[in-house]
Amino acid sequence: MATLPFFDRDLSWLSFNARVLQEAEDPAVPLLERLTFLAIFSSNLDEFFRVRVAWLRHLKRLKKRKKRGVRPGKLLKQIHRTVDQQQERFGRVFREELLPALAEAGVVLVNEQTVAPAHGPFLERYFDEHVRAHLEPCDLLPGAEPPFLVNHALYLVLERLGAGDVDFGADASAITLLRVPTEQSPRFVPLPATEGRQAVIPLDDLIRYNLGRVFPGEDLGPAYAFKLSRDADLYLDDEFQGDLVDKVRASLAKRSTGVPSRLLYDQRTPYLLVDHVKRCFDLEHEDLVMGGRYHNFRDLFSFPALDAPGLRFPPLPPTPHPALASAEVLFDAIRDQDQLLHLPYQRYDEVLRFFDEAAADPAVESIFVTLYRVAKDSGVTRALMEAARQGKTVTAFVEVKARFDEAGNLYWAEQMTHAGVRVLYSLPHLKVHTKLAHVTRREDGMLRHYAYLGTGNFNEKTARIYTDFGLLTADPRLAEEVGRVFELLETLRKRTGRSVAPGSTEAAQQGPSFTHLLVAPHALRPRVAALLDHEIAEAQAGRPAGLTLKVNNLEDPTLIEHLYRASQAGVPIRLLVRGICRLVPGVEGISTGIEVRSLVGRFLEHARLYWFHHSGAERLYLASADWMTRNMDRRVEVAFPIYDPAVHQELTHVLDLQWHDTVKARVLDADLRNAYHRPPQAPVLDAQQAHYAWLAERVSG
């Protein structure tokens, strides 16, 4: 049999980030939103280099010519080539499109040379009051110990020629480093408005303007910007010994001291200056990545707000949930019928209200919840603490290995512990990624189970920008099994940490069994495989079959091979994949029956849905799990069936909207292109806008 095709994971991710860049390039997107997409693109790329590129660099340093099918050196070259091309597009859209458009809107981005002379006193005064005290010039002397470069910090490097009383010794000049203090001052500083026009100067240019006052009497060369990204991968999944919480605390400091993974520098920087920096900091040639004049474009998130109309997306205030918002007691509405929340189109208030009512209700006896990424000002954790103070049994399972959220999770875990909440921490060999809450309530002398099952975190901030679904249910088939998931977590905590093969008999005996929920790591993969096998059998028998899958990432080789077999058997397959997609569609004899589309728009698509035709008795699951090896084998995940016919209909309607999107959907093909899905004669359909309008009509109707 011929070798099956797979896209490289990292190149596929870069293709996803290119779709983000497309949003910044799209003139139909409002101007300031385009700036935001540049910020998202930049932030995404920073994390990619800190984690994925750092991992490849480790492999290369270990002389691993090939690891898990990857040739690190060759792949790194492909990555840098792709990133260079994307950075050129980035710079072009910023310089040639967005800056002129900002000027037309009355906002001019100025630098140290183009700023109006009338603004000179303001620039000097602002520099003296807010910046000067935070500048610590450092000469990069040959053979001397260089300063430590802070991860993601912005630096200026310049050449200073000897002048006045300055003595540079035997050398005629010195190379000097300045850190731009973006933590103490905004990156973009508004200048006093003149004649109805607003000038904004980047902080780095404001410093350039005042360099002569920092080094009086010296002959200064141009100041060029650079920044360093450091390895952020803590490899906690491989650390099975000792107290995991202490390991996370100790490892957080490594984020700022990790080995370099990228030095981004201004492409106009003279070679001798770049080489000097490279040698001073013991960098390799492949650490160097050319960029434009400005770095850290993630700071565009904080670009000064403008009042001109049409520069932002029209507001889409979250709508109330038709049944929950009008319910006097939330538990009554949930008991009567399953209730589905569409986030961020509907208010997150009902999730907070679920916890608040549980905390205040005398009939509630216990609350269990899994917390993966907690908001900075978390109403959920505050409700849990109040419930504990009210004497209820409250247990929170806190995942402290949630990348880049460890510190916040640890903070809230400590606060909850002090308030009397029983806090359970990460399992040494697994991440708990499922998003569940379980409440027991005494009604008529008996315990009734209520549950919240979601595709997204209990996080008020992300609930405003991520599209997710949350199911509130009292269906015993689901709610009681959610309670068993917490029994499973208790069982796994008592294990020694040794690995157990997913799907094995021993794994199945690690805790309670599940009839309705598909629970990783021991049952999700085999249950999904069985559902796929059913579709294959139906297609081979000449009967209708089909699969629609919506995930963030499709990466697992075994499941992709299963999808290839299904396609070869004649199963029509529709895939909605936002990010990584290693499956190659449209390959003759392998994947001709598979279509892949990706939706990137105003909100971040985050929900996971699995739909199977299943002989006409459709099976529809919402899930916390992508189809990635880590989700199937190294995380506790839950996919849950939708039994309520009304909820089932809501979800299939949303799937249909997204599949027929002709505004934000891209078609993924065998060449990793991102062509928009715009078939001739098809009506204009923005699925996210249509989703919101449909929900708004349900409220008004």
> pLDDT band at 101, cuts 50/70/90?
very high
Percent of the chain past pLDDT 70, that is, above it, reads 89
Residue given tokens 């099994």 in the structure block: 481
Q: Are 80 and 57 in contact (CB under 8 A)?
A: no
Q: Give per-residue pLDDT as tens, 17-34.
A: 999 999 999 999 999 999
**How high is the pLDDT of residue 68?**
55
Alpha helices in 281-434 (DSSP H): 330-336, 349-360, 379-389, 406-418
Q: Give per-residue pLDDT as tens, 537-574.
A: 999 999 999 999 999 999 999 999 999 999 999 999 99
60 pLDDT higher than 60: yes
- The mean pLDDT value of the chain amounts to 89
**How high is the pLDDT of residue 287?**
81
Q: Give per-residue pLDDT as tens, 35-57.
A: 999 999 999 998 898 888 877 87
Rounded CA separation 547/563 (Å): 9
Nearest to 579 by CA among 3, 1, 9: 9
Sequence letter at residue 248: V
**How high is the pLDDT of residue 402?**
55
Rg of the Cα atoms in the chain: 28
**How high is the pLDDT of residue 54?**
79
**How high is the pLDDT of residue 229?**
80
Pull the structure tokens for residue 528.
């999904």
> pLDDT band at 499, cuts 50/70/90?
very low
Nearest to 10 by CA among 77, 60, 63: 77
Angle at 411 between CA 302 and CA 181, to 5 degrees: 35
Q: Give per-residue pLDDT as tens, 274-325.
A: 998 888 888 888 788 888 888 889 999 989 877 777 889 999 999 999 999 9
Task: Report helix, strand or coil for 633.
Answer: helix
Rounded CA separation 270/261 (Å): 22
**How high is the pLDDT of residue 284?**
82
**How high is the pLDDT of residue 166?**
47
596 pLDDT higher than 50: yes
**How high is the pLDDT of residue 517?**
98
pTM equals: 0.90
Q: Give per-residue pLDDT as tens, 215-238.
A: 998 999 999 999 988 776 544 343
Catalogue the active-site residues. Answer: 433
> pLDDT band at 116, cuts 50/70/90?
very high
Residue 240 phi, psi dihedral angles, 5° rounding: -105, -5
**How high is the pLDDT of residue 502?**
45
> pLDDT band at 348, cuts 50/70/90?
very high
Angle at 407 between CA 401 and CA 410, to 5 degrees: 75
The neighbouring-strand residues paired with 608 are 623
Pull the structure tokens for residue 65.
């010519």
**What is the average pLDDT across 65-86?**
82
**What is the average pLDDT across 118-139?**
95
For 229-272, give the DSSP string.
Answer: EE-----GGG--SS-HHHHHHHHHTHHHHSPEEEEEEETTS-HH
**How high is the pLDDT of residue 270?**
92
Q: Are 639 and 610 in contact (CB under 8 A)?
A: yes
344 pLDDT higher than 50: yes
Q: Give per-residue pLDDT as tens, 131-189.
A: 999 999 999 887 788 888 888 889 999 998 865 444 444 455 789 999 999 999 999 99
Q: Are 9 and 582 in contact (CB under 8 A)?
A: yes
